[in-house]
Amino acid sequence: DQQVKQNSPSLSVQEGRISILNCDYTNSMFDYFLWYKKYPAEGPTFLISISSIKDKNEDGRFTVFLNKSAKHLSLHIVPSQPGDSAVYFCAATDRGSTLGRLYFGRGTQLTVWP
């Protein structure tokens, strides 16, 4: 039972343009959402998070949007850079009951070309 879904396995974007990565979830109890970035042969690196009391969180070139009614979140990267090429994982948790257990999507491979 995949509670967090990333339906696009890959995304290709030109340098300087916007990258939009999407994520859907099914568990309405999730109240904290995170994006991780992963390079080959490395562990995931935390990128940005958002609490369910917000609908937007911004950190430099990265913005996460949350639509609770649609159970959907997205990560926007503007402007995209070649160094952003990596696998991006969406993750979610219910801070009230799961002791911080994170549920991950399968990831989206982002390729930013010059």
Q: Is 54 in the site for other proteins (CB under 8 A)?
A: no
Q: Is 88 in the site for other proteins (CB under 8 A)?
A: no
- CB nearer to other proteins: pick between 27 and 79: 27
Q: Is 45 in the site for other proteins (CB under 8 A)?
A: yes
Q: Is 110 in the site for other proteins (CB under 8 A)?
A: no
d(CA 67, CA 49): 14
Q: Is 70 in the site for other proteins (CB under 8 A)?
A: no
Sign of the CA dihedral running 52, 105, 1, 97: negative
Cβ atoms < 10 Å from Cβ of 110: 21
In the complex, the smallest distance separating the C-beta of residue 82 from other proteins, rounded to whole angstroms, is 22
Q: Which two tokens stand for residue 99?
A: 């002791």
* Span near other proteins by CB under 8 A; candidates 11-19, 64-72, 74-82, 101-109: 101-109
2 residue type, one letter? Q
d(CA 111, CA 39): 12
Helices (H) and strands (E) in the chain — how many of each?
Answer: 0, 11
Q: Is 57 in the site for other proteins (CB under 8 A)?
A: no
Note the residues at the interface with other proteins (CB under 8 A).
4, 6, 32, 34, 36, 41-46, 49, 89, 91, 93, 95, 98-107
